[in-house]
Amino acid sequence: MGNASGDMPGRDDLHNRGAYALSMSKVHFLPELFHLLYVLRQIERLHIIPVLHLEGIPQEQFAQVECCGSSKSWSPEARLVETWNEPGMVKLRVAEEDGIYGYAVPERDSEILHLNPVVEKEFLSACIKKNRQSSNLSSASKHSNFGHSNTLNKYAKTIYIMSYVDLNYLPRNDLVCEFYLEPAKGLSIKEAAEHIAGESSVGTWTEVSTSTPRIRKMAAKVFSIKGNHVKIAYPQELFEPGNMPQIMSSIAGNIFGMKAVENLRLKDINFPKDIAKSFKGPEVGLDDLRKITGIKGRPILGTIYKPKLGLNPKEMEELAYKVYSAGLDYTKDDENLTSMGFNRFEDRVHRILGVADRIRSEQGRTVIYAANITAPAQEMLKRAQFVKDHGGKCIMIDIMTAGWSGLQYIREQNLGLIIHAHRAMHAAMTRNPKHGISMLAIAKAARLCGVTALHAGTVVGKMEGPKEEVIAIDNFLKSDFYGMKKVMPIASGGLHPRLVPDLLKILGNDLVITFGGGLWGHPGGPESGVRAIRQAAEAAVQRILLEEYAKTHTELAEALKQWN
């Protein structure tokens, strides 16, 4: 670029070589601008399009954009100035808070100039700061992985084009995500939020010539930044109806691994009506579960067979009869019991459902057995059908390990079965309060995908989970949600009779409580464990202190002594 002697080019030379400038009615700093453009052209080997950031200049001073002699009036109401579909095309982004952004130098004298926001990579760019008193160039520190010359260091600065940020935007029919965000060192919250919005919608790491105004309208918008909490709105067009894997690949996909973020947590998802209604939701819901069991006015009480692995089908059959006959409502496999050599699925299911039939005959009660069908999708369907064919009412799926696809596949078979959703592996995503995905977000997706009952946390048991979040999950699962059936929360993990009153106080009576060691560890054996649990629930529902109720209920008294 420039003449043979290497001197700085003049204005005509720059225009001939493909450089562009902004024409302003009251501001004149073209000598500094062209000097800066000359410097930036020295890094042409980096294949980066520099960006001019014009800030501190009142918007009314920008009269028009010049492009090789063509001009177009700027409309201050428009977020995007009209584009030229001709060689030398220029696009401008209007952003009130951040000034006006525009490309001033094309890459390698290319014929087309784009302002497609790029949020995945740092850009070497020029920063021209203008105020009423001065139009001097501002020196700024450089932040980039690309390297730079000493000459460029005098002027260069990283600019992230804030075209994904619109703090005046009001979501209407958008899918809205709330994130907790800690940016990488050297970046602001705003800059990192732009990375997230771009990567999770229409952006990529570099400028692409295939971007069009139509595509840009589908870009996600950061519309709220409060401290480390960021809200991003996603147009519905970005999502395939009824496809949870695709939605999660967008809003919870690459973004967690980006260098622009130190920590990132998807805290909540608000699904608009059209997207929510594209999912089937539960076929069998909370109220249906109540009808099937005939239980009203108290929690449904259950257990997990223990030890979780090692028992054979015959041993589980014997244990099933002991706990069901003592008054238990519900039993389930543990998350890692499927169909092993020591305990084949078909044999186990056949035996335990036989016990359920026996209880119905002897006591007139319908008891539930949640058989773990977790496996590849086609095998899950075979196992679910086996349960149904043998009179079973319930199947269990480890929804995090089976995946959203597996869950949706089973739900869409319309088998009429209770889907007990275990959340094994969730803590790999939910445990870190600063990074990952919240259990609330997972619960919302699970309801859309059609679970009947979901492990939602206990607050008081052995499993970690903030009280506020557990309550928020409980409230959502039982809420009115576009006419979708309600989901029964499941409390499980480290529970025993002494904890029942606290559980009901926090979560209410619409609850499945499953006890493991808190039943099987009772000093009087499993039958006494069941009775102690029933007695604790009776006392809690009647708001009688456990110690008082234990005076006339031996099994509860023994349990309180055991778990003091």
Residues taking part in catalysis: 306, 422
CA dihedral 316, 317, 318, 324 (to 10 degrees): 100
For 377: left if phi > 0, alpha if psi spans -120 to 50, otherwise beta; the answer is alpha
Pairing between β-strand 261-270 and β-strand 394-398 as defined by DSSP bridges: unpaired
Q: For residue 22, which of 98, 90, 115 has the smallest C-alpha distance?
A: 90
Alpha-carbon torsion (269, 271, 276, 282), positive or negative? positive
What's at 17, amino acid-wise? R
Residue 178 exposure: Cα atoms within 13 Å on the Cβ side: 12
The single residue listed with the structure tokens 């054979």 is: 312
Pairing between β-strand 92-95 and β-strand 70-73 as defined by DSSP bridges: unpaired
Please check whether residue 255 is in contact with residue 200, taking contact to mean a CB–CB distance below 8 angstroms.
yes
In whole angstroms, give the CA distance from residue 514 to residue 396: 14
What's at 368, amino acid-wise? I
Bond before 307 cis per omega within 30 degrees = yes
Task: Go through the chain and tell me how many residues it has.
Answer: 564
What's at 355, amino acid-wise? V
Give 104's contacts (C-beta < 8 A, 6+ positions apart).
Answer: 19, 20, 21, 22, 33, 37, 50, 51, 52, 126
Give 527's contacts (C-beta < 8 A, 6+ positions apart).
Answer: 322, 323, 325, 326
In whole angstroms, give the CA distance from residue 520 to residue 562: 12
In whole angstroms, give the CA distance from residue 483 to residue 487: 12
Give 559's contacts (C-beta < 8 A, 6+ positions apart).
Answer: 496, 497, 498, 518, 522, 529, 532, 533, 536
Please check whether residue 381 is in contact with residue 412, taking contact to mean a CB–CB distance below 8 angstroms.
no
Stated as kind and residue range, the H or E segment containing 433 is none
Long-range contacts of 286-291 (CB under 8 A, 24+ apart): 286/452, 286/453, 286/477, 286/478, 286/485, 286/486, 286/487, 286/488, 286/510, 287/485, 287/486, 288/418, 288/452, 288/485, 289/418, 289/452, 289/453, 289/488
